[in-house]
Amino acid sequence: MRLGDCYTPVAGERFDLICTNPPQMPTPPARERADAAAAADNGGVDGWRILGRVIDGASGHLRPGGRLVFSIFAFLGRKSAFARLEARDFTPALLATEIQSFPRIGYERLEHIRSIDHEGTLASEVPTSVERLIVQGTRA
């Protein structure tokens, strides 16, 4: 096991597959905390703080034809995920979806989550569930 920040522990290495499910709960401005409990949830203001770094650095760690696979809440946006992958020369695909219970911490942040849900995936009433997307980006 290697521990470190993002790709630092695997500098210079290449893989066929990178798979991740990083913290991605959108965090309202001025509500971010640095403690360990918060680190498990906080994905930055738009939910993409860590996953964006993973996508940005994946090309340098994948062999040609290699795949980056990650899970996101639908309210982060399938179109946004695809655009981020395409901007880094990945071919995006949706591998699977599932419905899960709406995250407990999401209720505290519901107004903020609605403000970043540009694809309108959340129901207008208080949500009880959320769609989860498994997204793949294939390196050229």
User: From the first residue on, what is the mean pLDDT of each consecutive set of 10 residues in the chain (140 residues)?
Assistant: 91 96 91 78 92 97 98 97 98 98 94 95 93 97
From 58, 112, 55, select the one nearest 82 (Cα to Cα). Answer: 55
Residue 84 is predicted with a pLDDT of 98
Look at residue 51 in the predicted model and tell me its pLDDT: 97
CATH architecture of 8-139: 3-Layer(aba) Sandwich (3.40)
33 residue type, one letter: R
pLDDT value, residue 1: 85
Q: What is the pLDDT of residue 2?
A: 87
Tokens of 68: 């980056």
Beta-bridge partners for 93: 136
DSSP code of 47? S
Please name the residues in contact with 83: beta carbons below 8 A apart, sequence gap of 6 or more: none
What is the model's pLDDT at position 134? 98
At residue 10, the pLDDT reads 95
Tell me the domain boundaries of the chain. 8-139
77 Rama class: left (phi>0) / alpha (psi -120 to 50) / beta: left
Q: Are 58 and 38 in contact (CB under 8 A)?
A: no
The whole-number pLDDT of residue 61 equals 97
**Neighbouring C-beta atoms of residue 103, cutoff 10 Å:** 15
pLDDT at 118 (0 to 100): 94
pLDDT at 29: 86
> How many Cα atoms are found within 13 Å in the side-chain-facing hemisphere of 18?
25
Cβ atoms of 123 and 99 within 8 Å: the answer is no
